[in-house]
Structure 1
Amino acid sequence: MNKTLKSLLAKGINSKVAEKIINSGYNLSTLSACSKEELEELGIDEFTRKQILDKRPPIPEDIIDNLLYKSMRTCCICRKSKRQIIIHHIIEWKVSRSNQEENLVVLCLKHHGEAHTYKELAQNLTADRIIAAKSKWENEVAEMSKKSAFKELEVITRQDYILREKWFNFLSKINMRIENIESSIEKFKFDFKIYGKSFLFLKVYDIEHIDDLINKENLIQNFKGAFFLDSLIVLGSKPFLSNEGFYSNETNIQIGWIYNHGGKNWDSVMLKENYDISNGKLFVENLLYENTNYKNFLTDDHFEEIMKIWNE
């Protein structure tokens, strides 16, 4: 969200007026320096002028973020998402002196007006009614977010079957043992969460990682333990996942595939943190696999051979 818009909302200015102020090239700081007459010339009404010139502390930014996120920037009374909104003090500021989240609510302009109006023959929008509506709406928003997140997970699961088959076929064609292929696909599972959706935390296949193997020219790597294949990763996959909003709990150990020229077969090496890829060759500062040397690392030529098999 635009920082100026957020600061204006924090002062109790509604989103419609805030957008008008921003479009006129002003922000809260420049408006605060304006006289009453200058504000009138900008077409700002008396209520908004009072909000701008009011010396009370603004609502903290993190609280605004929470309110807007939990309400989907929608009034909890009418739930009409296209209406302009304002952040309303449930117990008015001059009484409560509270900018805490529990004393604030997102309302549309119509219901904000009703919250400040008392009617003799009608049901008033009291603090208790607002609190109940806020709680109910925020719970419903949370449920909607969960359903949306699990729909995303269903898509990932469908992709998993397609990519799993392609991965199996690829490793079979380069003569990897069947039991190692079966265990390797499990290594694509890792703990993750989607930021902003903390309720979604589980193990799934690292689809972004596998897809990266299919679509990008990265060096394919593995690390072979004493008996079984322990892990399969791609150099650069961790930064890639991080940029996409994922994180992994794994340690900072990188794994590399090498080609054993003497034995004419693929072997493996486990590397520490310091590595670099330049001109298709892998350069490493720390080798933990003593039976290899630099000339055995995967080069452009070897990579092209692999990708030809992969893309068949």
Structure 2
Amino acid sequence: MQKHTQIPKDIANLTLFLSDRTCCVCRVPGRAIQIHHLDGNNNNHELDNLAVLCLHCHDETQIKGGFGRKLNSELIKLYRNELYIDNKKRLKKIIPNFNNLFKKITLRKKKKTSNFQLKMQDTEFIHKTIDLCYEKEDWALLAYQYKWINQKELGYKYAKKYIEESINNEEWIKVVKMQFDFLGSENIEPEFLEKAVNIYLKNKDFSQLARLYRDLGNPELGTIYYNRSIEIDIRKRNWFSAGFYLKESGNFGRAKVFLKRALKEFLKKGDVHWTIRCYEELEMFEELRNFAEDIVNSEKIKEINPSVRLDLMRIVGNEEEVKKLLKNMRVSMKRK
């Protein structure tokens, strides 16, 4: 048996950077992720052979039959390249003249296929990003750039610089986030944490406060604020939000009660997007596939907006329609 080799750090960091550390298939933020080898060869570390997947979507590359049909490499590559394109647009809003970064990146069609092949010259992309961060004095983005390429000391240096500026501007939530990401939870200044907490309390943003305490390793306070957030959602009859945060806080059994209420309401309203989200959070994948197939095979599909239609086609496994929709959406965005 051939021994597996580790992905080189510069290639791994570049892959994570291009994907914004997000699964290219579902794009759900905050999920645990891993770098997937598209051709199944764990020793082929070419950039074009790598994609970031969450653990849930990665499972779909392993399972055969039923809803958990195998995600093939060509479809994953299509999702990945769409994510890279979208991230380019996002970063373009953050950094001036961002198009200059992508002169070394070309998306070109491979012979006899409709798939894109990403060509990149080493890590010049990240180095140019760093140069632009210096020009704009965007110390936060610069700190994360250095962190991504494993230059911890430089990342720490610019994180401290950003923290100092944020303190002067009294942006306490940003201060605490950067301290957590670069210094570790044990080094967060208590007075800064108190100020950040007060902002969350003032805004009654209890779900984010719960996440903060959870990340800081304080599950007791995390539970208190999860419960407060959930109580408010229940009073407001916001069943999906209540179920979502119950599940996130580890109470999936109770979460199902509220997610099913939300599902019933969204089905009654004919809200396809939120019906899909309910089925996903309930992990009712067979029912989700049946729901999607019913819509895809009906006249209603013509009334569905392209982004939701894309979700439906992904669920039923219509790869040709997925490619067609993505192409049309790209053309539409270019016209705008």
Q: Same fold (TM over 0.5)?
A: no
Question: TM-score with structure 1 length normalisation?
Answer: 0.31
Which one has the largest radius of gyration? 1
* TM-score, scaled to structure 2: 0.29
